[in-house]
Amino acid sequence: MSSNRPALAASRLACRRGDRLLFKGLDFELKPGQIVWLRGPNGSGKTSLLRLLAGLSTPAEGDVTWGGVPLREAGAGWHRSLCYPAHANALKDDLSVLESLQFLARLHGHAGSEAECGEALKRVGLFSRRHAAVRTLSQGQRRRVALARLQLDAAAPVWILDEPYDALDAEGTGMLDAALSAHAARGGSAVLTSHIDLTLHEPAPTVLQLDGYRVQ
Ligand SMILES: Nc1ncnc2c1ncn2[C@@H]1O[C@H](COP(=O)(O)OP(=O)(O)OP(=O)(O)O)[C@@H](O)[C@H]1O
């Protein structure tokens, strides 16, 4: 992929949920090194847009392209270039923290070794809790474990993050900011939602306001 070509793009995108058209006419580009902050009120369609971009649902109109190739022609392999820890943390209550991260890692094509996952847990400050059951963690600690996937998927060029700052304290927020800055410095890009004002400054996020595309 050339350095100026958008990693992910969409043109004239429209989204339908149930019998409602949420938005239409949306053009979008995510360039290497860029962080896009998708904003809009509750119910405006941010999660729905992220799902379209991740290829998990089909637009009512328009196209999503990955490195210039329409997703419907890209085949399943393109998902390896994407890290999308969705809003729900997808952790298994009955597993230990380490086992749960290993499960997620393997599900997403990594070896999921104890060493690799332990290192990722160190980076989110949860190594000492690695043998605790997930059900014993606080919401913020669960969020940190889910975000440890970013450490495992650091090489994935595109991160799609739905409210990643939810439940994080100042230290957790700082860790996520640092992970995003390092990702962008490597040429990676991300699109994220957040109802909380961002503290990320390097790079300064590009705001995409979804309200402008709303269908009344
Ligand atoms: N499975 C579904 N079937 C029908 N409508 C749905 C479905 N999922 C979501 N919706 C509707 O689509 C609209 C957009 O939902 P979405 O979750 O994309 O909004 P959002 O901008 O992410 O909201 P929030 O800020 O509250 O997270 C909402 O009105 C919601 O009720």
Distances (CA, A) of 184 to 65, 159, 200: 20, 10, 12
Phi-psi region of 163 (alpha: psi -120 to 50; beta: other; left: phi over 0): left
Q: Answer whether residue 4 shows pLDDT above 80.
A: no
51 CB under 6 A from ligand 1? Answer: no
State which amino acid sits at residue 25: G
1 pLDDT band, cuts 50/70/90, is very low
- ipTM value of the model? 0.96
Q: How many other CB atoms sit within 10 Å of the CB of residue 42?
A: 6
47 CB under 6 A from ligand 1? Answer: yes
Spans of all domains in the chain? 8-213
Closest residue by Cα to atom 10, ligand 1, is: 17
Closest residue by Cα to atom 24, ligand 1, is: 42
> Which DSSP state fits 186?
T
Record: fold of 8-213: Rossmann fold (3.40.50)
The alpha carbon of residue 153 and the mean position of all alpha carbons in its chain are separated, in whole angstroms, by 11
Closest residue by Cα to atom 30, ligand 1, is: 43
Instruction: Give residue-wise pLDDT tens across range 107-133.
Output: 888 889 999 999 999 999 999 999 999
> Which DSSP state fits 40?
-
Residues in the chain: 216
Q: Answer whether residue 76 shows pLDDT above 70.
A: no
Instruction: Give residue-wise pLDDT tens across range 146-197.
Output: 899 998 888 889 999 999 999 999 999 999 999 999 999 999 999 999 999 9
pLDDT at 211: 82
- Shortest-distance atom of ligand 1 to CA 163: 27
Q: Pick from 15, 16, 17 the residue to mutate for probing ligand 1's pocket: most ligand atoms within 8 Å of its CB.
A: 17
Closest residue by Cα to atom 6, ligand 1, is: 17
41 pLDDT band, cuts 50/70/90, is very high
Q: Answer whether residue 216 shows pLDDT above 60.
A: no
